[in-house]
Every structure is written in structure tokens, then in C-alpha cells.
Structure 1
Amino acid sequence: MTFKRNKMVVVPIFPTLILYPSPLFEECKENGQLLTEDWDRYDMREQIMSSPVSGEDIKELTQMLYKSFISPQFFLRKVLSIRGADDLRFFWRAGKKIIGHLTDFKAGERHC
């Protein structure tokens, strides 16, 4: 998988689709594509609608995308862009979230 990384990206975000009540939710429900209607499982940690791509493949691809952005150059650009305490706090919170995404989606693991 290759794609161009934009040097202007502040924090990479690659969310998985969550079918909250919406026209898409209704369409999937009508077509029998919902794998669960247990709202406690609607947390982006597992596949909730049927797809030609397996849930495990989606998890692996999502982790690959996050890891592709995490490099020494990425961190150096972020550190060099810090202009004050507000930036430092922002990057601290964003960094914790990125690390969290790198550990998300491990097989059989739920973070509820």
C-alpha cells in the first residue's frame, strides 16, 4: 500500500465507519448487513457491518496507515513547530492519542 504523506498533516486520523442511526444504518439493516445492534460494540474496535474486507484486514490496514505517518521526521517536524505552551499541550494530547491508535485493534482486545 502506498500513498503520499502530506507534510502539513498535524495529526493523522483514519477512523473506521460507525453506523450510528443514519440512512446508511437503515440501508444496512434492511439488507441484512449489520453484524450487531449492540450499541456497546459501536466503538470502532470491530467490524459491525458485513464487508468483502474482513474485520482483521481492516484493523491491520488501519494500523499500517497510522504507522506510515509515525517516523522520526514526523516527530521532528512536530517538535520544531512548537511555538508555546498551548502547542506543547496540543501535541502532548495528540501524541497520546496516536500512541493509543497504534495499540488499538489488537485481536480479541476491547478497551471499554
Structure 2
Amino acid sequence: MRVLFIGQYLLLLALYLVMGTAKQPQQVVGDYNDVLMHFAGYAVAGVSVSIAFARQAIWLKFFQLFCFSTLVEIVQYTLPWRSFELKDIAANSLGILVGLACWQVVLWIRTKARVSTENNREGS
């Protein structure tokens, strides 16, 4: 099962790379708010990396995605039809943090539910 999660995560990164280097991305995804798309995309990536690499330290998950998103921006700088934007890196970083935080909340809720269920069994 872990292989599927890792595969999904790598596919997501490949999609981000293709979209990040496309000549006319508006034709592929439409003309939406660019910063919002960066934020949402990397929030999803934050959850995805958390599932794919569950045992990896949270700071390492952030660093991995931050480096990837920065690398995509650097590649965009070299392409005449794209541009390097610090605001995109900022939106990506915030999205990563939100995605990682959301997954931590999910884990916390699952742990609380498990403890509650175990306590109920012992009390019966």
C-alpha cells in the first residue's frame, strides 16, 4: 500500500513540474488566481508527502517540498515564456505548512479517537 502512496506523490510532483514549465499553462488549467493555485497545490502536496513518507520528520517533508518548489521556480527563470516569482515560493511554502498541519490534525484526531475507544473497552 505504501508503494501506491509514494507513486501518487511522485506523480503529483511530475504534474507540478509539467505545469510549472508549460509554455501556456492557462490553456491547461484555465486562468485562475495564480497565488491561490500555488497555495492549494502545495497544501495538497503537504498532505500527500505526509501520507507517502509517514515516518519522515516533518521538517524534512517541508524541506523536500520547499526545495522542489524553489527548483521549479528557478527552472521557470530560465524559460523565456515563464518567470521567477518570489510570491509563488511564498505561496508554495505557506501551502506546504498548511498541508502538513492539516495532516497533523488528522493524526491527532485519530489518536484521540483510538485512546477514547480503548478507554471505553477497559471501562466496560
Q: TM-score range by the shorter chain?
A: 0.3 to 0.5
For normalisation by structure 1, the TM-score amounts to: 0.34
Larger proportion of helix: 2
